[in-house]
Structure formats: structure tokens, C-alpha cells
Structure 1
């Protein structure tokens, strides 16, 4: 190992500074808004009643209202990466705040279905920008040892937003126009983030991309307290090495050349396959169908207070995301997926079986439960299987895809994360606009069996293609993909890096004990003299 590599490893193994933690939490407000949006619509669809166009919403209108945000997010995510590379990560966060606020105001004032759809679309653009930029911003600031956990703070914010939305929705169930208050609450965290971000810096990697080395050094010295000038210069040189500047005279030519590079350079294309694959898996295994329509699902199987039941699902998601926060860098991304995906498949299969024994029919696209009003045993099985599904999802595929930034080289990171986040929202759009129709056309059993089949395919995809990246520096993540997916080599390198971290921790603890021993002896001698 050369001296420069040793310096960089020491630099990356340091604990996140208070400033890095602060920047992470501020950026994660975008994740909270992402989660709050997916959470409140489930309650709102139940609570709107006849407030829009003076008549109850049809299944088709529910799908359109829900899908509008996904369409906006898809468009936003598609352009967010290029804009982040051109103008910076910080301006993209601010723009997403503006779109969140505009969308929320339109929805609060809506009295027709199409006005509501328009507000949801505008908010969706903000969601798309925010869902891409928050994990990108965090991953570029975080030391490699803690990158997984810090990015999961954003995922925790997403699940926390969902849980808060369900909780507020349950509390406003019987309040006149309560759903408007539910939407309006989203203005508060958005305004807070906007005010805070104005005073924060961009990432050192972005400053190096733009040739502003002085600003990059200033930020690194603040985010890595105690870093020597030698380690800061080594980090700047690493950024420069990774910053294979894309040629082009303007943003459109640069973007086109980046698109070419991400498809023509084998390591970049493998990264794209993995990032897009994981984001697609996250959506097509059916989680957002549960988030968007959980209230509708639980109403269908006989639960009168469906929003309260949804809180249990969302709470499970939050709890197991919190567990993932503590174990992801220790257990590893690959292993955690290989644990979660089989559990998802089994829970979805159980759900499909339970729906088979529920006597549900559809008339004019509305679900009817042809049984007594009492909740049946099979309805309880559906709840249990969905809680199991939520736990399995949260521990793995709910958070690992958002580690996507580590897969891409710096020169194509913006366009790479844009593509993969767009896949996520394309999947969300597909699921949100077809889920209720799927329940009608292929039955609930067929729908959840389809999701179980996708989970099985996903398990095969991860087993054969996804390498272990926990503990690796960003440059090492890209090197792993240079001559294949290199599953075996990635596991060996990750294990070696983790062992080096343990050795370093042990060395630090030993030094601290050695330093404290003379102090302890001195204190005892002082006591003897006093006596």
C-alpha cells in the first residue's frame, strides 16, 4: 500500500464531523418530503370524499391523482443530475423546495380533480429533484466507512415522513377539510430546509469539478476536523483523478457526451445496470402500491379505520429502516439484500394466498367485500403478511438502491443517478397508475403473486450481479466494475477494508490507553503526596 493510499484511507476512516451530520440531516429533509408525499395521499384519497367536483372519487381518478406525482418526479429526476452537475447540488435542493411549496399550495386550493392532479404533478417535480439530490449530496460528503449509514439517514427521513403523514392523516380523519390541512403541513419542513440550505456550502467534489480548489479545501477542512494539509491535498488530487472531465462547450453537449460515456465505457455501463436494476426492483416488487393505496386496500378487506391500520405498516417500515442504519455497513449491502428479498417473496406469496380466500368482487372498478362486516381470519393474515413484507423491504431493497452514487465515476455520477432515479419514478408511475386496475383485472391474488415473482427474479439478479461495496472508497467501487461484476473480489476487498478499520480502531484505543496511563499514575502520586 503506497503512502498516498494510506493517507486517503486514514482520511476516509475518520468519524463524520458535526458539520457533516448537520448537512446530512438538512439534506434529508428532502427525503422526509418524499416520504410525506407518498404517505399523505393514501389518507387523503380516503378523506377527500366529495370535496372535488362534488362527487366521490372513482378508482380511475384515484390512480390519476396518485400517478401525477410519479410523472412529475420522473421528469424532475431525468433532468436533475445534469442540472446538479451544471449549477451545483445546493441550487437543486433550493429548486426542489420551490416546487414542493407551489405544488402544496395548488393542492390546498383545489376544488376539482384536475386542479388536484396539477398540484400533485408540480409537487412531483420537486420530489424528483429531491429524491436524486439528497443521497448524492450526502454520499459526496460522507467518509466511506460511514457512507452507508449516512445515506440511510435520508431513507429514515423518507420512512419517517410516511409515518408522520399517516399519523396526521389518522388524526384529521373526522376534521372538515382535514385532507387540505394534511397537505398544507408539508409547507413547514420545506420552508425550514429552504432557509437552512441558503447558508450551507456545496460538496467538495462539485467544487473540484468546477476548478474551485480553494473552496473545496475550505469545505474539506470544515467537514473533516483535524485533517492535515497533506491529507486534504491528497483528497483533492483523488477528486481530480476521478474527475475525468466530460468534453463539450455547453451543458447539452456535455450531457450527450456523458450519456455516451455511461453506455460505452464498460465499468460505467455495469454501474448503470446495477443502479437501474435495484431502483426497478424497489418499485416493481410492489411497495409503493402499499404506500399509495394502503387505505384503500384495508377498506376493501373490511377495516373501518384503514388509516390507523396503515400506521402499523408505516411504523414497521420505519423501525426496520432504523435497524438497517445500524447494520448496513457492518453486514454489507449485498448480504442484506440476499436476506430481505427472499422474505419479501414469501410474505407476498402468503398475501396472494390470503386474498384468494377473501370474497372480493369488482363493480364499475369499485371493490366490494361480499361477506359480513366483521373482519375475517384471512384479513388478519393479509395484515400480518404486509407487516412482514414491510419489515423485509425496509431492511434491504428499501434503502440499498439509494446508495447508487457510489457505483458511478465522478464524471458520469450526475447523469448516472439521473437515469437510475428516473427508473425508480417510472416504476412508481407504472404501479400507481395500474395497481387498482390490476386488482380488478387479474384479481388481488394475481397482483400479489406477480409481485412475488418479481421478488424471485430480483433475488437472482442480486446474487449473480451485485458486488459487495460496503467499506470501499468511491474510487474502489468503480474499480471493482472495471473487468466484470467481480462478486468474489468485491467481497474479499470489502472484508479486508473492514479488517483495516478494526485494526485502526484497536490502534487508536491502545494509544488512548497509553496516553491515559501516565495521567492515572500522576493522579495517584498526587493523592499520596496530599496524604
Structure 2
């Protein structure tokens, strides 16, 4: 429900940005965050909890496309990539903190109410601080509030840069006025017919879709499950290891801040996707080996628990062929490992609290998702590499590119389209992940993500332009000249040769 709300929030966020400004849209998102958290913490029934999730989702959708846009429009070109990447780092840092908070509240009374309700505090803090910040100077200039825009630009840029920035902004707005006189309102046909917009949307939307379809949010949403699928049975162990993955995500985002304005957006994307492909290959191979070499089920071991033997296993007369993987495929079954060695034959029992507690009482490990494996640590290494490579480029650069690739007049609506595509893709992948793992196994699921990553790499090489250090107005000119953007080196921003078609 939160993701569904985010889709709506991102869709209306573009209109809100263009009509009321970036600052007011962020304030509205903060209000929705706070209201949603309050609804969830005090929910008397599931309907109220769902309503709170929708409110939070609406705020997430608005903020996801507005914050990078606001940062981009209030940043000098030479540090714009680093500052937008910082936004992504703080998101991943927030995810890390949320795991810590969840861990802290696991023993508290009213566990989940505290977990969900405390999210209102940072929303309240940001709302208060946002009241002290100015509106985007680019939005103000476009609305005819030139004096306000100029005073803000003077605070952002060095004195010798102010005049050039104002002239570039003035030229951009004057070009828009000419377009508006020719067409009184933005029409969807304009987005398709205008070369720069169409090519910018292709790159921007494509990056957002690939960001989700290579599987990152399945890893973040279901990392405790994935850790258990790798053979780590304990819920607490799974949560602690998930905390580590969230920390690696934050570390990768820090590296992205450093490299975004040094190596360039496109190079960073290519390096990131190349690492993701290798990591997914490792994950696919390890999980495939785990499912094909899982411990056998022993009839003697299963009988040792009296009436707790799984009915599906008891009814299957070909029980000698059963192993842990087949046991867990039956939704009603759980696997209790051998007391001497978890890789030896174990018991297939009813998947309930009684059987789980009895299994652990005998000093055994209780599995309901993944099976014991001697190579589980390889899966953790693959998972760690995947997160680090992803967060270095694909986690942050799509938002950087989408914050700077569209002309000012279209920035709100195009950013909204791109953010909406991101959240729709997020919903599709997150809702299908567990079903895929049940149907074809987690090894093949990661293999599919790997194939999509290869397609994403080819897409980046062909369609995504390098925007490092370029004033936003010059990016539009580059898109007008060339549809295929295979060249990704030698960009020098505003001082580059205007005839350069890269």
C-alpha cells in the first residue's frame, strides 16, 4: 500500500512542483509523513494502519522526485552531482538507522507501533528546517519573481559566477516563453515530438525502470528472508546480517558522492552495472547449488518428533527422495536439522511454533525458508558486493541524471513521469519476488535479475548522455544534437566545443 501511494504521490508531484514550487511540495510531503506515522502508531484496526501506509506512500512519492530536483536547482554545476548523491546517501543512511531502530524495539511493548510511529520525528524536524530554506531560484525566475531568484543565486554562487548564471537562466526562461506562446499549455504530444525531451525521457525513465528491475528493493525489503534462504535460520541473525547490508548500502552511497562529479555519471553507471552483473552471477550460482545439494529428509528423524511430522511428507510414499528443499516447498512444512551436523539428514515437521520450539529445544536449527548450506557465506559475500556496486552508481546516478536532464519548463512533469515509472517498477518487482522464488527458486530469480542488468548496461552505453559538470541549459543542446550517446569521455561542461556531438 505504501508503494501504491508512492506511485500516486510521484504522479501528482510533478504538477505540484510546477504549480506551487519545490519548497511547498516538500513541506506537504513532510506533513503526509507525519500524519501517516501518527495513523500507523495509533491504528485501532487494519484499515487505519493501511490508511497510514497510503499517507506515507504519498509523501514518499512526492519527496522522491522533488528533493533531487530542489537540490539540483539550488546547486552550482560543479558540485551538483555530489549534492544530489548526498540525498541518496542520506536515504540509505536512514534505511540503516531504521534497521537499528527496529532491532531496538523488538523487545519493547507495542513493538510495531513504536517502529512505525517514530518515523514521524524526522518528518517533523525536516518540516521545521524546510521553513528556513528558500524556494528554487529557477522556479522563482520562471514565475517572474526575478529579484527573489537573483538574491538566492547571489548566496549560492561566487560573485564572478552570478552574472553568467543569471544570463543562462534568463535565456532558458525566454526560450520557454516563446514555446508557451506557440502552445498555451504543456501537452503530452510535446514530450514525444520535441527531440531533447523525448531523448531525455528515454534516458531518465529507462534508468529508473532498470534501477528497480535489477532487483535492489527486493534485496532491501526481503534481505532477512534472503539471508535465511542462504541457510541462516535464526531470525535475529538474519536481522543483524540485514543491518550489515543496509550499512554497506550507505557506504556505497558515500563513495558515489565522491565519484559523481569526478569520474562522471555514465562511467559510474557502467562500472556499477558491471559489478552488479558479476555479483548476481555469484548469487545465482550459490543459491542454485544450495537448492540442489540440500540435506536429505530422514523418516527416522521425522518420526522422532512424534505427531509433529509434516502431513505432506507422511502422505508422500516416495519419502526417500525428499530433501530439505522439497520439504520447504510444501507451505505447511519446516525442516529441523540434525543435532550433530546441519548438513546431515534431518526431519520434515509441521511448520508451526510448537514444532519449531521443540526442534530448538533439542539443540537443532529450525528452517522455514532456506536450507542448511556450507556455502551460505558465499551468498553473503555476493549480496554484499551486489549492494556496494549498486549503491555506488545505480542507486544514486538515476536520480542525479533525472534532476538535470530536462529543460526547466518540463522538469516537473518529466521528473514526475520518471519517478512514477520508478515506483511502478518497484511495485511490480517487490510483489513478484517471493512468488518467483517459490515458482522457480531464488537462484533462477537472481539469474533473471542478472540478465536484466546486462540489458541495463547496454541501455546506459547507448542512450544515457554524460552530464558531468554541464550547466542544465547545455544538456538540452546536447540531446538535440544526438540520439545515441555511446561516447562518454572528454566532457568539459560549458567550455566544451559546441560542435561536439557526444
Coarse TM-score class (shorter-chain normalised): 0.7 to 0.9
Tell me by how many angstroms 1:336 deviates: 0.9
Task: Return closer, same or farther for 1:202/1:329 CA change in 2, 3 Å cut-off.
Answer: same
**Match in the other structure for 2:196:** 267
Task: Return closer, same or farther for 1:91/1:70 CA change in 2, 3 Å cut-off.
Answer: same
Measured in 2, the distance between the counterparts of 1:495 and 1:445 equals 44
**Match in the other structure for 2:320:** none
Match of 1:293 among 222, 242, 246: 222
2:258 maps to 1:326 = yes
Task: Return closer, same or farther for 1:496/1:224 CA change in 2, 3 Å cut-off.
Answer: closer
Task: Return closer, same or farther for 1:363/1:160 CA change in 2, 3 Å cut-off.
Answer: same
Instruction: List per-residue Cα deviations over 1:87-144 (Å, max 9, x = no partner).
Output: 1111100110111111111211235444333321211000000101000000011111
Instruction: List per-residue Cα deviations over 1:246-291 (Å, max 9, x = no partner).
Output: 64999xx83xx24222111111101001000000111010000011
2:216 maps to 1:283 = no
Tell me how many residue pairs correspond in the alignment. Answer: 428
Measured in 1, the distance between the counterparts of 2:258 and 2:269 equals 15
**Match in the other structure for 1:510:** none
Measured in 2, the distance between the counterparts of 1:184 and 1:471 equals 41
Measured in 1, the distance between the counterparts of 2:407 and 2:166 equals 20
Larger proportion of helix: 1
2:433 maps to 1:418 = no
Q: For 1:397-408, list aligned pairs within 5 A.
A: 397-403=394-400, 404-408=402-406
CA contact (8 A) 1:471 1:497 kept: no
**Match in the other structure for 2:248:** 316
Tell me by how many angstroms 1:363 deviates: 4.7
SS in 1 for 2:490: helix
**Match in the other structure for 1:447:** 445
**Match in the other structure for 1:50:** none
2:201 maps to 1:203 = no
**Match in the other structure for 1:392:** 389
> 5+ unaligned residues in a row in structure 1: which ranges?
1-67, 500-531
CA contact (8 A) 1:302 1:369 kept: no
**Match in the other structure for 2:159:** 226
Q: For 1:177-188, list aligned pairs within 5 A.
A: 177-188=110-121
CA contact (8 A) 1:480 1:490 kept: no
Match of 1:377 among 369, 374, 377: 374
Measured in 2, the distance between the counterparts of 1:249 and 1:495 equals 30
CA contact (8 A) 1:467 1:485 kept: no
Measured in 1, the distance between the counterparts of 2:252 and 2:162 equals 40
**Match in the other structure for 1:79:** 12
**Match in the other structure for 2:93:** 160
Measured in 2, the distance between the counterparts of 1:498 and 1:231 equals 16
Normalising by structure 1, we get a TM-score of 0.76
Q: For 1:3-42, list aligned pairs within 5 A.
A: none
Task: Return closer, same or farther for 1:248/1:230 CA change in 2, 3 Å cut-off.
Answer: closer
CA contact (8 A) 1:76 1:124 kept: yes
**Match in the other structure for 1:122:** 55
Measured in 2, the distance between the counterparts of 1:224 and 1:402 equals 23
Task: Return closer, same or farther for 1:488/1:307 CA change in 2, 3 Å cut-off.
Answer: closer
Task: Return closer, same or farther for 1:159/1:141 CA change in 2, 3 Å cut-off.
Answer: same
Normalising by structure 2, we get a TM-score of 0.80
SS in 2 for 1:161: helix
Measured in 2, the distance between the counterparts of 1:210 and 1:216 equals 10
Deviates more, 1:159-168 or 1:428-437: 428-437
2:273 maps to 1:347 = no
Measured in 1, the distance between the counterparts of 2:220 and 2:105 equals 18
Deviates more, 1:128-137 or 1:328-337: 328-337
CA contact (8 A) 2:282 2:382 kept: yes
**Match in the other structure for 2:460:** 462
Task: Return closer, same or farther for 1:244/1:335 CA change in 2, 3 Å cut-off.
Answer: farther
CA contact (8 A) 2:172 2:473 kept: no
Tell me by how many angstroms 1:71 deviates: 0.7
Tell me by how many angstroms 1:299 deviates: 3.2
Deviates more, 1:490-499 or 1:231-240: 490-499
Q: For 1:497-508, list aligned pairs within 5 A.
A: none
Task: Return closer, same or farther for 1:111/1:339 CA change in 2, 3 Å cut-off.
Answer: same
Tell me by how many angstroms 1:352 deviates: 1.4
Measured in 2, the distance between the counterparts of 1:228 and 1:248 equals 31
Task: Return closer, same or farther for 1:136/1:455 CA change in 2, 3 Å cut-off.
Answer: same
Instruction: List per-residue Cα deviations over 1:383-414 (Å, max 9, x = no partner).
Output: 11100100110111111100112111111111
Deviates more, 1:326-335 or 1:221-230: 221-230
Match of 1:476 among 464, 474, 477: 474
SS in 2 for 1:470: coil
Tell me by how many angstroms 1:307 deviates: 1.2
Tell me by how many angstroms 1:191 deviates: 0.4
Tell me by how many angstroms 1:492 deviates: 3.3
Measured in 1, the distance between the counterparts of 2:217 and 2:166 equals 44
CA contact (8 A) 1:465 1:487 kept: yes
Q: For 1:44-59, list aligned pairs within 5 A.
A: none
> 5+ unaligned residues in a row in structure 2: which ranges?
295-324, 343-364, 367-371, 498-502
**Alignment root-mean-square deviation, CA:** 2.5
Deviates more, 1:480-489 or 1:120-129: 480-489
Measured in 2, the distance between the counterparts of 1:216 and 1:354 equals 56
